[in-house]
Chain A
Amino acid sequence: MIRPFRRVTLVVFGMFVALMVASTLIQGVFADELRQDPRNVRTTLQGYDVRRGSILVAGEPIAESVPSGDMYQYKRVYPQGPLYSSVTGYFTLNAGRTGIESAMNDELSGTSGSQFFDTLNRIITGQSPQGDSVQLTIDPKVQQAAWDALGDYRGAIVAIEPSTGRVLAMVSKPTFDPNSLTGTDGSAVDAAYQALVDDPGKPLDNRAIAGDEYHPGSTFKVVMSASALSTGSYTTESAFPNPASLQLPQSSAVITNASGTQCGPGDQVSLLNALVLSCNIPFAELGMSLGRQQIGTTAQAFGFNKDLSIPLKVTPSIWPTLQSDAQTALASFGQEDVRATPLQIAMVSAAVANHGVLMKPQLVDSVIAPDLSVRSGFSAEQWATPVSPQVADTVRDMMVQVVSRPDGTSHLAAIPGVDVAGKTGTAENGPGDPYTLWFTGFAPANDPQVAVAVVVEDGGSGTSYDLTAPMGKQVIEAVLNR
């Protein structure tokens, strides 16, 4: 009977080892991830019991915990309310959390791995727990300019610094006041939350990085130009046939330019003129001869179909799997199933601005411990190199002409004395639906300080030409004037 006993003893040990492994996985390896789950009410409860760290912009709190004077120790307040809601997100008792409040929760609540020894120290010394503060890369002046520029339109604006990837502004409208969700009166918060969920304007969506995404329309022509030039077989002067309408192969679809006419005079149109005048037909022809493979490679190098967290989760923009030349032709001017977030389009401009090097967009500048020491600082990160410096600079010069030439579609973005590069876009969404209006660009062209993307969903009678280009200009000016 000794041998079976030995084996059963081994089985018993095996069972306990399994338990130890499982508990180590839950409490050690995946603990941070589990803490971040928005359904984890403990994390939220903790935020109301411990002094949660502040979220700072240029040293000023845009979210902070103050003593609440009721059964909870602290409550969360957002001094600027809706202005920063797309960045901060909200922090509720019962409805989870979003934005930086969610993504940086471990640091804010003081439970991240880097605070392990602090936690241990606090347990031993009996101090009450306190979280770290998170300083953002957002520039308050640029954020305010973006907020004002967008006005009451439905849409989003993102501005990033091309050389570092710092996100300078991020606005999404319509939005909400996070203060309405942070009270300790559960039913009032629930009612406010439900009202936001039911609102047809979807104020809880962060359109800048994670809304339903948009057809990029003509802004995608920047990617197309970069893709063509990268092959080495095209130059800015490469010529394309210039009909007034084009029947797509194996399809009944007929496409036209936005003007409904030829793209400028002559039988042929150059790549440069096609971009400046934003014509669809030459780009459809270019797309079909480049092939969906080559365009896809370039688009993905710019970040399409890739996961990104800044550390807010960014919905990947979509370069679809295309079945036919007709689809490729439509995708070539940002229609078909091509989808993009405003951040993605800003990243395209930023990569062109930064000589082909795409820096990883980041929202967090530094994490600051309660004793004001910096726990982790900002370090710029190279994320991808979608095009060569030569190609990037050529595309840059093309984009400058889009703004500087009087017949360029983006000339309303021009700023006297500064070379601005830009591109507008007007995407169709289906019969009867309003157009999606775009602008993206950067400035100054020789030493880019900012790359921006603007999207408006409900421009009414406005066009990208007269609505979004001036919005982009306002944001660029805010950066150049600071």
Chain B
Amino acid sequence: MTDSARSHPASTTPPRSATEHAPVAVPKPRRGRNKLRDLELVLVLVACAINAAAILLVQLGAGAALGGMQLVLGLVLAALMVGVHITLRFVAPGADPFMLPVTALLGGLGIAQIYRIDLAVGLTGWDSTANRQMTWTGISLAACILVLVFLRNHRVLFRYTYLAGAGAVVLLLLPLVPGLGKAENGAQVWIGLGPLSFQPGELAKILLAVFFAGYLVRNRDSLATVGRSFLGLRFPRLRALGPILVFWLLAMGVLVFQRDLGTSLLYFALFLVMIYLATGRPGWVFIGLALFVAGALLAGRFLPYVQARFDNWLNAFSDSAYNATGGSYQLVQGIFGLANGGLIGTGWGQGYPDVTPLSQSDYIVASLGEELGLAGLFVIFGLYLVLVARGLRVGFAGQDDFGALLAGGLSFALALQVFIVVGGIMRIIPLTGLTAPFLAAGGSSLLSNWLIVALLLRLSDSIRNRPRLVIES
């Protein structure tokens, strides 16, 4: 398929016929065996077995007795996991068979590591982060099933492009509402509802991707029109710069008002990548990057917290940064932890991941790297890569531009999040407050990333089913 084959006039309708908007008749389960789903079932069971073994290893390593709570929660999770699989058999039989097991495995490794640190610091019952994480995983799986059941055709989302955009902005603003917002670790990104706290920005990520995809599919022709060329690059026309400036301002707003460098970077890069995917014009990326770097440099000059982040990054090992309040202590201890793990890791229960602050959430990757070593980290990177590659594959093979763009954006968002988190821990880039998808302790992040997987599953199903539907209709 080429670009021209899928080009279409700028309009408010997605490609292909508008009649397909309404939930289309569910393709009946194929007769005979569905090999994709059989493969998925085997892989899901393998993932559950590995996860159970991981918990067991933690038990052995830390020398603690398995509580009844973990056993019940673990069984419920395994059941829910199989539940998602069964749901897929009925409502998305053509969905990618690797996404669910890979995600399940990542989540399980995260829970095992969180549980191990719980044991080290002596948290049990509902105080135990692992138990809460397992509960959140259950909620996320249920949400995943609901999305798959009720969203039968992803192109319904196209209709709600602007609603999604407005929703994202509202979610982003919520933490700034007095009385509702809560500041944690310096960032104003939480809302508190009684004892619960939630990070609405995590959900905003998905809504933004939906909005970008819809908006870009509608307007990409005007955005792709070439303006003047400079330094061998063809830049877009000036008047088409409006939207990019708006999102630059949005990203800078997040940076200034919510003091959240990572999220700001994530949103803006997501926008840039999606505009590039839609228009094929690298000029946009260069303009965008220049704007962001300029903004970040200005912020580094005038916002003390951004400046501190840069100092901690560049001079992490200097005594002054190390001993400063809000200095590089966490970064350096995380690196010491990784070094302590070495090539094969200390083994679960044998390292000291709890020395590093936030070892269960922001620093879960350092904790895993310490106890599972370089070998374990490479496995985790590999799992992420499989997930992201399967998501991008939807973009390569996608039937409609909206779906392709959405899949590309969501997959890239996952990959970028991993890069920002792990790159921060490993001193490739300044440390930010993002969390590693599926691994880190935290309900909002877990829920939103599982929703991304639900959407990717739905999108991947459309690749296989679309032609058959056309033939059937």
Contact = CB atoms under 8 A, between A and B. Distances in A.
Q: Do A and B bind each other?
A: yes
Contacts of A19: 381, 418-419, 422-423, 426, 428
Q: Which 7 A-B pairs have the closest CB atoms?
A: A34-B339, A22-B426, A15-B419, A27-B374, A31-B339, A40-B336, A42-B340
22 contacts: A1-B6, A1-B404, A4-B276, A9-B389, A12-B411, A13-B385, A15-B416, A16-B419, A19-B381, A19-B426, A19-B428, A23-B369, A23-B377, A23-B378, A23-B422, A27-B343, A34-B336, A41-B336, A42-B336, A45-B352, A45-B355, A111-B342
B160 interface: no
Interface residues of B, number: 57
B392 interface: yes
A8 B277 contact: yes
Q: Interface centre among B342, B343, B378, by most A CB within 10 Å? A: B342
Interface in B369-392: 369-370, 373-374, 377-378, 381, 384-385, 388-389, 392
Contacts of B385: 12-13, 16
Interface stretch (A116-124, A249-257, A389-397): A116-124
B115 to A, nearest CB: 20
Nearest to B391: A12
A39 interface: yes
Interface string B334-362: 01111111111001000110010000000
Interface in B415-454: 415-416, 418-419, 422-423, 426-428
B153 to A, nearest CB: 20
A42 B355 contact: yes
Contacts of B405: 1
Interface in B42-98: none
B257 interface: no
A30 B395 CA distance: 39
Main secondary structure of the interface of A (DSSP, over half): helix
Interface string B401-421: 100110010011001101100
B280 A26 contact: no
A1 B339 contact: no
Interface in A1-45: 1-5, 7-9, 11-13, 15-16, 18-20, 22-24, 26-28, 30-31, 34-35, 37, 39-43, 45
B377 A27 contact: yes
Nearest to A128: B350
A434 to B, nearest CB: 32
The SS class assigned to the B binding surface is: helix
Interface string A123-136: 10000000000000
A26 B352 CA distance: 17
Interface size class of A (residues with CB under 8 A): 35 or more
A16 B276 contact: no
B280 A22 contact: no
A18 B339 contact: no
B80 to A, nearest CB: 29
A32 to B, nearest CB: 8
Interface of B: 1-3, 6, 273, 276-280, 317, 322, 332-333, 335-344, 347, 351-352, 355, 369-370, 373-374, 377-378, 381, 384-385, 388-389, 392, 395-396, 401, 404-405, 408, 411-412, 415-416, 418-419, 422-423, 426-428
Nearest to A30: B339
B426 A26 contact: yes
Interface of A: 1-5, 7-9, 11-13, 15-16, 18-20, 22-24, 26-28, 30-31, 34-35, 37, 39-43, 45-46, 111, 116, 119-120, 123
A116 B1 CA distance: 52
Contacts of A34: 335-336, 339
B340 A40 contact: yes
Given A20-B378, A39-B332, A45-B355, A2 B276 contact: no
Contacts of A37: 317, 336
Contacts of A22: 422-423, 426-428
Contacts of B335: 26, 34
Contacts of A1: 3, 6, 277-278, 280, 395, 401, 404-405
Contacts of A42: 336-337, 340, 351-352, 355, 370
Contacts of B389: 9, 12
Contacts of B351: 42
Given A39-B322, A42-B337, A42-B352, A28 B342 contact: yes
